[in-house]
Structure 1
Amino acid sequence: MFAAALVPPAAAGAAGAAWVLLGVAGLVLAAAGLWWALAHAGLVRIAGLVLVVAAPLAVLALYARHGLLMPAVLSLALWALALAAARVALTPRAAASPPPEAAVAPPLRPWVAMNPRSGDGKVARFRLAERARAAGADVVLLDPGGHDDVAERARQAVRDGADLLAVAGGDGTQALVAEVAAAHDLPFLVIPAGTRNHFALDLGLDREDPAAALEALTDGVELRVDLGFAADRVFVNNASFGVYAAVVGDPAYREEKLRTTLQALPPLLTGDAAPRLRMRAGATRLDGLQALLVSNNPYRRFVDTAHPGRRERLDSGLLGVLCVRVDNAAEAVGVLAGAHAPDTPDGPGEGPAAGVLRLTAPDVVVEADTPTVAVGIDGESVRLPAPVVCRIVPGALRVRVPRRRPGTPPRRPPADWRRVRDLARHRTRTGG
């Protein structure tokens, strides 16, 4: 860290501080341009895109012209190394205790629903139906047109005597069947055949080899994990309110994600259609939110480039809550720079005027000025009557997983330089 700070003045002499400020100014302008590109259309969006590209290039060109490009690259590399070293130093020696596992006998009448369209055809590519039938499962291939009521088919399977329910598909389909499994206290098997499979990721399953999950039918263990509810709808990952929910609810989103998002964002961020939500969690009250994410157990960080959207555990009995309010370019820059309110477990007050707030709570109430509110539940768009009460039910779901699975990596917390300093002083005093 010290070496990274010393490289610019060593290379530029007395003007080193000015060159550092120039680099910071370029990043700030690029962040402001990104906000203009997302929150506006037409000429303002074009100007924002130009700024996103031109500001960093102009800084690099000035550095190169004055012979400071290589020192700048070296300084950035040293900063990256310092951040990585700090995160490693602060990582607990042992990851959080996983949910207790219980050895179980193989199911007698497993039932598996498979979505042939999920994950660009993973069901056919990995021969999941044939492998599941070979393991003794009753396999149901869902209608490719999306007209099947998978929850009702799962309930019918229970009435027919199924003693395990499984899904090969995306997280939205997983949630529908998980609700049926929890209601009947039956084990639930996740086969990661969707596009992202966040729930499978946090269960420690191998998303690159969905067929490996079928080993749980013959050599499996059982976990107890929590389930989230938004009103009466189950979510295994999260329920999103506000901007993201409105974008996902656009019928064109499925086919043209990027184009639909860019068209929908300006009025949602700055126009009359911009959602303004209210949130209550214990003593915490927040107004004027544009986006709100309620997750089944908290995510590690707002932004984590190494492992985005990871949850350290699924049995904490707490919802994760992420609140966002950004109204202009200056506030967007502040959020991207990390200038947001610190995490709070359940503190009083109205929260920040703008930025990001994270907290945890057993239940959350989401209010709006409309009779209903758009909600993205595990990526599926629905409308629910306002206010929406989100809650978590600890240990509601029995999950069957293979005995052998990759697991989750240890948590890498953000660099806290005060803690790094205290750790270094402790090691020095003890001679360790």
Structure 2
Amino acid sequence: MVRVVGSTVSRAGAQARFLARLALLFVLAAVVALLAVSGIGGLLILPVGVAGLAVTAAGIWWVLSRRGVVRVAAALLALAAPAGVVVLYAWANLWPAALTSVLLLAAAVACMRAALGRVRPHGRSHAIRATEGVRPRNPVLIMNPKSGGGKVGRFGLVEKAEEFGARVVLLDTTVETDVAEIARQAVAGGADLLGVAGGDGTQARVAQVAADHGLPFLVISAGTRNHFALDLGLDRDDPARCLDALTDGEELRVDLGMVDGRAFVNTVSFGVYAQIVQRPEYRDAKADTALAALPDLLLGYSGSALDARTDDTRLETPQAVLVSNNPYARPEPMTAGGRRPRLDGGTLGVVAVRVTTAAQAADVALRGSRADALHVLTTPRITLDSEAETVPVAVDGEALRLPTPVTCTIRPRALRVLVPRHRPGTMKATQPVDWRAILTIALGRTTS
């Protein structure tokens, strides 16, 4: 048995070395492609592309932070910069070299991640460990008939849930309803599972009741964006498939974020975005409302200044802070994208940004999380304060005002989520590109 394990480890190491060396070969080939197709002039492809990206980012910054003629001119600049790069590549016949180089570098990155996956096998499978789910006898599902443009009715969720033996509570959307109180009443009536067909904000409120009572929780992806369902691997195109968990499910233990005693399953936003969503006109005219408000908010002429602190970090006057229930793979949540590789890491993700000039905007576009204006960190607790008595907060997309200071924490593995055994969107964790580790592997040395 020892020889078999050793042979397996040795084979994985050999594969990692081969892939690491292949990755370096692809990188070298990309450089050669630039030189071979266009000579020394081919090396201009990179600086020209970088310059185009920087000018585009600066133009976008001026669009967001200025009004009137300056905004129009900046929009034209942001559009003209990438077009100019393409025209220059075509005029100088550089586009074949650029395309070849991009493809070779993409192949290099794929080989790097595969090599790291051989020596760090934990990165190749979904991070949340599933256990056998217990079939509920008295499940209660709360459904919002208006959520997601009427997905509850469109997919026949009420009828299908009742076929599985669930009791369905349809929310009356004409009046303000306390879904947490409905969930507590269901628990008092003997519910042994709570579920929600609705948006992430509704999911969070019922999830908190389920966690407090130690009950399993069922997510039905009937919201608009369904970020929580996405990271659980659930089918967002057919929410009815989520109901399969009632008869053939498995259980995931995931973390629950908390902001001043209120649960969140995805994110809490402070600063610019949170202030914009407070405006009553935002729901009907999101883009126009944001463009009208952003110049004053970004340049500090309106809104309340924030300070944020963790146990070992202080962030002074960020324009926007996004706190997530576990960190995202990249700081894409600031633009409403991205996924979380795991939901049971026991830590909050924090992305804070403070951009006041076009140069800083360009730096963020070029260097990402390494830019001085962008802070990406993890922490079990973060507190945000302001001179104002209350600050606007967006909790899973819902607009609130909370008294300062506001503290975000996390409850590790507090929520029992019952999910279908077969989930189409289960995420495979990918290894981040680590050049130093690749060089180490390629040289035949060990890496951690």
TM-score (norm. length: structure 2): 0.86
Within-5 A mapping of 1:235-246: 235-246=264-275
Aligned-residue offset at 1:209: 1.9
Spell out, residue by residue over 1:329-361, the C-alpha distance to the aligned partner (whole angstroms, 9 max, x if none). Answer: 1111111112544xxxxxxxxxx8x42122211
Aligned-residue offset at 1:98: 4.0
1:63 alignment partner AA: Y
Question: Partner residue of 1:228?
Answer: 257
Question: Partner residue of 1:59?
Answer: 85
Over the aligned positions, Cα root-mean-square deviation in angstroms equals 2.4
Question: Partner residue of 1:423?
Answer: 441
> CA separation of 1:80/1:105 partners in 2, compared to 1, >3 Å: closer, same or farther?
closer
Residue of 170, 182, 191 corresponding to 1:162: 191
Question: Partner residue of 1:10?
Answer: 36
- Aligned positions, number: 417
Residue of 317, 342, 349 corresponding to 1:313: 342
- Tell whether the 8 Å contact from 2:304 to 2:388 is kept in structure 1 after alignment: no
Q: Partners in 1 of 2:333 and 2:432 — Cα distance?
A: 9
Aligned-residue offset at 1:82: 3.0
Within-5 A mapping of 1:146-295: 147-273=176-302, 275-295=304-324
Q: Partners in 1 of 2:287 and 2:130 — Cα distance?
A: 41
1:35 alignment partner AA: W
Question: Partner residue of 2:22?
Answer: none
Q: Partners in 1 of 2:81 and 2:164 — Cα distance?
A: 58
Question: Partner residue of 2:159?
Answer: 130
Question: For 1:374, what is the secondary structure of its paired residue?
Answer: strand
Structure 1 residue 366 corresponds to structure 2 residue 392: no
Q: Partners in 2 of 1:337 and 1:415 — Cα distance?
A: 17
Question: For 1:426, what is the secondary structure of its paired residue?
Answer: coil
Structure 1 residue 27 corresponds to structure 2 residue 53: yes
Question: Partner residue of 2:430?
Answer: 412
Structure 1 residue 93 corresponds to structure 2 residue 124: no
> CA separation of 1:205/1:52 partners in 2, compared to 1, >3 Å: closer, same or farther?
same
1:68 alignment partner AA: L
- Tell whether the 8 Å contact from 2:348 to 2:379 is kept in structure 1 after alignment: yes
Q: Partners in 1 of 2:423 and 2:294 — Cα distance?
A: 39
Q: Partners in 2 of 1:235 and 1:255 — Cα distance?
A: 25
Question: Partner residue of 2:400?
Answer: 382
- Tell whether the 8 Å contact from 2:252 to 2:416 is kept in structure 1 after alignment: yes
More helix by proportion, 1 or 2? Answer: 2
Residue of 91, 108, 115 corresponding to 2:137: 108
Question: For 1:338, what is the secondary structure of its paired residue?
Answer: helix
Q: Partners in 1 of 2:405 and 2:432 — Cα distance?
A: 34
Q: Partners in 2 of 1:4 and 1:33 — Cα distance?
A: 30
1:52 alignment partner AA: A
Aligned-residue offset at 1:274: 5.2
> CA separation of 1:87/1:267 partners in 2, compared to 1, >3 Å: closer, same or farther?
farther
Q: Partners in 2 of 1:170 and 1:126 — Cα distance?
A: 16
Q: Partners in 1 of 2:184 and 2:276 — Cα distance?
A: 31
Question: Partner residue of 2:8?
Answer: none
Question: For 2:444, what is the secondary structure of its paired residue?
Answer: helix
> CA separation of 1:231/1:96 partners in 2, compared to 1, >3 Å: closer, same or farther?
farther
- Tell whether the 8 Å contact from 1:243 to 1:275 is kept in structure 2 after alignment: no
Q: Partners in 2 of 1:190 and 1:13 — Cα distance?
A: 57
1:82 alignment partner AA: A
Aligned-residue offset at 1:124: 1.3
2:255 alignment partner AA: D
Aligned-residue offset at 1:304: 9.0
2:158 alignment partner AA: A
Residue of 419, 430, 442 corresponding to 1:401: 419
Aligned-residue offset at 1:413: 3.6
Aligned-residue offset at 1:247: 2.0
Question: For 2:332, what is the secondary structure of its paired residue?
Answer: coil
Within-5 A mapping of 1:321-360: 321-338=350-367, 340-341=369-370, 354-360=372-378
- Tell whether the 8 Å contact from 1:8 to 1:20 is kept in structure 2 after alignment: no
Moved more, 89-98 or 190-199: 89-98
Q: Partners in 2 of 1:155 and 1:143 — Cα distance?
A: 17
Q: Partners in 1 of 2:395 and 2:302 — Cα distance?
A: 21
Residue of 101, 104, 109 corresponding to 1:83: 109
> CA separation of 1:169/1:328 partners in 2, compared to 1, >3 Å: closer, same or farther?
same
Question: Partner residue of 1:345?
Answer: none
Q: Partners in 2 of 1:73 and 1:103 — Cα distance?
A: 48
1:26 alignment partner AA: G
Spell out, residue by residue over 1:58-114, the C-alpha distance to the aligned partner (whole angstroms, 9 max, x if none). Answer: 222223223223323333333333334434433443436644433343222211111
Aligned-residue offset at 1:417: 2.4
